[in-house]
Amino acid sequence: MDKVCIIGAGIIGMLTAKLLAEQGVEVHLIEQGYAGKESSWAGGGIISPLYPWRYDDSISVLAQWGQAQYPQLLAQLNEKTGIDPEYQQSGLLYLSIEEELSKAQAWMNEFSYSFEALYGEQLSKTEKELNNQFQQGWLTKSIGQVRNPRLVKSMQKLMLISENIHLHEQTRVTELIVEKQQVKGVKTESTNGQSQSFYADRVIVAGGAWTAKLLDNYQSVPRIAPVKGQMIVFKAPENLIQHIVLSKGRYLIPRKDGRIVLGSTLEFNQFDKTIDDDTLEELRLEAIRIVPELANYEVEKQWAGLRPGSIDGIPYVGEHPELKHLYLNAGHFRNGIVIGYASCELLKNMLLEQECILDPRPYALTANRLLASSEEVKLEGAY
């Protein structure tokens, strides 16, 4: 295999391009906007699912592989591009999981994560600014984080300096080139109106929330729909909090410069990144509920991104069942950073006929995970 086209230059598309290019494959990476500027840029960058015991084990094995590999990848990116993605092993402090505790403990035992129970004074010493209404928490120290905007800037620069990668931004794929049920390439149109065709041995769709739309004219499409998430960031002093803190689906992420990210809403089935004042206030109050001291600091910014939600929370990784040489790597929902690295490595294994790092079967495009092109993709609070 000499040449591949990848549709979508988010973190999934860029990581796939990197891994294939390192194996000598020529990659054309095609992005309708700018590389990494959709959900890859907008997320919190926690290198863990928020509540991993709520997911299928197929998510946990992807996450565990990625967690082990990320420090090396991020150090390599920093060295090659000069842009530090700001990896920190912050640890993750769970609050308000009493009702799920037995399930969480069973999951942590199965996947060998350390899990420290903290009570009363021990909890308040671990995070001094926590609301004193919290009397118990559970800390896993092994969880890291990365600063998404810096990660995607670093990856984008790597795309531009890599010999085997050709990045085409502001270029929209208008259709697949298909002959006898076999995909031969893609037709594109750039924002300046220029049309161009790219022929390749394989085509990969890594279009995030837009993946189903890209395939809408073909026989079967993956059940992927947009899940909007609004977030805010506080301009706070350094070391106000030490760990990622999670309570009732809201998380606080401390950055190296003191800023604290708070996320995130779940808004289903809209290709709409509008932000609103009511949500800002709701998120601000949630942050203060967890760390009251944040009432004294301004919200510096509010934004929204569109996560690619799959019907079962499991990404689609593999060949399309009806269109030969068309592959997908999409549907990572809110776990694109943590499970995306493993899914890209797994897809590379498939394409190059290497031994797979993980069993690929849970991620296949099976009939129950696809729908006819005439149907509307709907996710109704599936998470």
Distance (Å) of CA 100 to CA 94, 104, 107? 11, 6, 11
3 state DSSP class of 362:
helix
Output 12 or 114, whichever has higher pLDDT.
12
Name, of 27-31, 98-102, 213-217, 219-223, the range with top average pLDDT.
Answer: 27-31
Mean pLDDT of 156-183: 96
Q: Where are the domains of the chain?
A: 3-53+150-223+311-372
Task: For residue 281, count other CB atoms closer than 10 A to its CB.
Answer: 12
| Torsion-angle region of 275 (φ positive above 0: left; ψ -120 to 50: alpha; else: beta) | beta
371 pLDDT exceeds 60?
yes
What is the average pLDDT value for the chain, to the nearest integer? 94
pLDDT for 373 equals 57
- The rounded distance, in Å, linking the Cα atoms of 158 and 153 is 9
- In percent, the amount of the chain with pLDDT more than 90 equals 87
Q: What is the CATH number of domain 3-53+150-223+311-372?
A: 3.50.50.60
Are 143 and 91 contacting, i.e. CB atoms less than 8 angstroms apart? yes
- The rounded distance, in Å, linking the Cα atoms of 327 and 343 is 12
Dihedral of the CA atoms 312, 316, 329, 372 (nearest 10)?
Answer: -100
pLDDT for 374 equals 47
pTM of the model: 0.95
Of the listed ranges 178-182, 222-226, 278-282, 379-383, the one predicted with least confidence: 379-383
Q: Classify strands 267-268 and 260-263 as parallel, antiparallel or unpaired.
A: unpaired
378 pLDDT exceeds 60?
yes
Among all chains, which residue has been given the structure tokens 């009432």? 295
pLDDT for 256 equals 95
pLDDT for 78 equals 97
Are 353 and 77 contacting, i.e. CB atoms less than 8 angstroms apart? no
